[in-house]
């Protein structure tokens, strides 16, 4: 792999293999523009607010700094993005991990800023950009429904579309609504390189008409939200094979294909992915990050070295001390991500704690618990806690899983019986609270 970015000049007629006939050109990092006086004032205000928030332990400052900067300069996002190569990462699952992988890939070439705290709306983007005005690169996680607001303000260099599945239906709405929002966002960014998941029909619908798409194939274990054509509603059947709908929408050929140990690149060569982060899902995330880095001129080997060294992403997969025990923290917030995390813990019999809340940031509706394949835990005894522990216990009873309900999460961790480091799978606010407690321990 070389220090280049790819331009496509043709396609491989073999619909199952990587595309061929590609040219490459060198892309040097850009130098960010010096801000105008009003934007410079917004930067000072934002940085001061963020610093005060951190000093008084009110938060990371990843939102308040950007929010106040936008009050001073409503056009701050566009102006702070000028001259930078910005990668926007969106999708239902994997945004935070993939964004941090992208940031690491870009840092193999030059400094890059990122909204590592997960503040993924416009104020979080502004806060990240104002943190280092001279960084030529930015990797920014963006909420699925806010990508259209971003592309209304500026055109990113790269847009990564990971996946779409049901999540927080009381806030986000139906998947078709989100897919249509992504499609409209891409219409406003015809010059961006789009790196998209070809195994998710909803993502295919959103990206298929864009003039510059790189398609990644990593498989799709969660298929319940992708059995019907997002364009016309017709039944698609098995989407892991090549499919074509009568309306014309079809599964595109893959440029990158994730394997059991690595990835096959556009050149047809297999590259091993020796990652510190576990599971197939992170090989998929790493492939999106690698493709993004190459699109912006990173050397492949250097980018992979940075990606492979990541041991956690904003606490995800981290090993911490809680209630006097060393535990591993895993985030799962909807049926698709629970499927991946339950698969990850299926290879061992270590103690297992499950924690579910239903606060505003989680979505109040927990009916999705009945879509999770908890039956895979039938040979284990688990401990459950959180705001909706009783709902979870009822679901586990119907799945035939033995469980103990414990009032507090720290008590749950302490009471989990068995040998080895316990795994704690928690949804968003439960995970956030646990990670914060570890910092105070």
Three-class DSSP category at 13: coil
Return the pLDDT at 61: 77
In this structure, is the dihedral angle defined by the CA atoms of residues 71, 121, 195 and 252, taken in order, positive or negative?
A: negative
Positions in the chain whose pLDDT score sits under 70: 1-28, 168-173, 439-441
Beta carbons within 8 Å of 365's beta carbon, 6+ residues apart: 168, 169, 170, 358
Which pLDDT value is given to residue 207?
98
In the prediction, which pLDDT does 440 show?
Answer: 57
pLDDT given at position 439:
58
Q: What is the pLDDT of residue 304?
A: 96
Side-chain-side CA neighbours of 13 within 13 Å: the count stands at: 0
| Cβ 127 vs Cβ 65: under 8 Å | yes
Given the candidates 3.40.50.720, 3.90.190.20, 2.60.120.10, 3.40.470.10, the CATH classification of the domain at 319-440 is 3.90.190.20
Q: With contact defined as beta carbons under 8 Å apart, do 300 and 4 qualify?
A: no
Residue 32: name the closest of 75, 69, 73, 82 by CA: 82
Distances (CA, A) of 200 to 242, 260, 274: 12, 19, 25
Nearest C-alpha neighbor of 95 from the set 370, 334, 273: 334
Q: Which among 418, 431, 429, 433 has a CA at the least distance from the CA of 383?
A: 418
Please state, as a whole number, how many other Cβ atoms lie within 10 Å of the Cβ of residue 9.
Answer: 10
Residue-level pLDDT at 240: 76
Q: What are phi and psi of 101, to 5 degrees?
A: -65, -45
Hey, is 159 helix, strand or coil?
strand
What pLDDT shows up at residue 170? 52
290 Cβ contact list (under 8 Å, min separation 6): 105, 256, 263, 300, 303, 304, 307
Q: CATH says 5-308 is which class?
A: alpha beta
Whether residue 232 is annotated as binding a ligand: the answer is: yes
What would the pLDDT profile of 366-397 be if each residue is shown by its tens digit? 999 999 999 999 999 899 999 999 999 999 99
Cα 323 from Cα 385, distance rounded (Å): 14
Terminal Cα distance for the chain, rounded: 44
* Distance, CA of 427 to chain centre: 15
Distances (CA, A) of 61 to 89, 309, 319, 375, 439: 21, 27, 25, 41, 17
**Any idea where the domains of the chain sit in the sequence?**
5-308, 319-440
Catalytic annotation, residues: 365
Nearest to 212 by CA among 8, 12, 4: 8
* pLDDT number for residue 221: 83
Residue 229 is assigned to a ligand binding site = yes
């Amino acid at each position: 792999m070389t220090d280049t970015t790819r331009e496509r000049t043709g396609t491989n007629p073999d619909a199952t293999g990587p595309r061929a006939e590609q040219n490459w050109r060198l892309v040097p990092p850009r130098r960010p523009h010096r801000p105008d006086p009003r934007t410079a004032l917004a930067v000072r205000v934002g940085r001061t607010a963020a610093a005060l928030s951190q000093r008084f332990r009110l938060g990371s400052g990843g939102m308040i700094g950007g929010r106040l900067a936008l009050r001073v300069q409503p056009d701050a996002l566009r102006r702070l993005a000028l001259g930078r190569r910005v990668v926007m990462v969106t999708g239902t699952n994997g945004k935070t991990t993939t964004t941090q992988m992208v940031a690491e890939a870009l840092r193999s070439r030059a400094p890059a800023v990122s909204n590592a705290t997960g503040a993924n709306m416009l104020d979080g983007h502004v806060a990240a950009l104002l943190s280092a005005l001279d960084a030529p690169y930015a990797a920014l996680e963006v909420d699925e429904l806010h990508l259209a607001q971003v592309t209304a303000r500026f055109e990113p260099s790269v847009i990564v579309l990971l996946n779409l599945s049901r999540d927080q239906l009381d806030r986000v709405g139906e998947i078709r609504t989100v897919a249509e929002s992504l499609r409209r966002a891409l219409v406003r960014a015809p010059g961006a390189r789009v790196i998209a998941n070809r195994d998710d029909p909803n993502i295919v619908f959103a990206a298929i008409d864009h003039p510059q798409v790189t398609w990644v194939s990593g498989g799709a274990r969660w298929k319940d939200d992708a059995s019907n054509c997002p364009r016309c509603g017709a039944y698609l059947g098995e989407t892991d094979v090549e499919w074509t709908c009568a309306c014309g929408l079809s599964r595109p050929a893959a440029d990158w294909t994730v394997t059991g140990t690595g990835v096959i690149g556009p050149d047809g060569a297999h590259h091993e992915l020796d990652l510190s982060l576990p599971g197939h899902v992170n090989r998929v995330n790493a492939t999106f990050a690698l493709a993004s880095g190459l699109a912006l001129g990173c050397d492949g080997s250097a980018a992979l070295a940075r990606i492979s060294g990541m041991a956690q992403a904003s606490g995800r997969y981290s090993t911490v001390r809680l209630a006097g025990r060393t535990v591993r923290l895993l985030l799962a917030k909807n049926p698709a991500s629970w499927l991946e995390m339950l698969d990850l813990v299926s290879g061992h019999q270590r103690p297992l704690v499950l924690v579910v809340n239903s606060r505003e940031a989680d979505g109040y509706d927990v009916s999705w618990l009945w879509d999770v394949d908890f039956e895979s835990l039938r040979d284990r005894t688990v401990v459950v806690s959180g705001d909706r522990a009783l709902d979870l216990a009822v679901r586990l009873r119907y799945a035939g899983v033995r469980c103990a309900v414990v009032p507090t999460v720290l008590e749950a961790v302490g009471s989990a019986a068995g040998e080895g480091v316990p795994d704690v799978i928690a949804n968003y606010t439960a995970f956030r609270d646990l990670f914060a407690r570890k910092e105070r321990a």
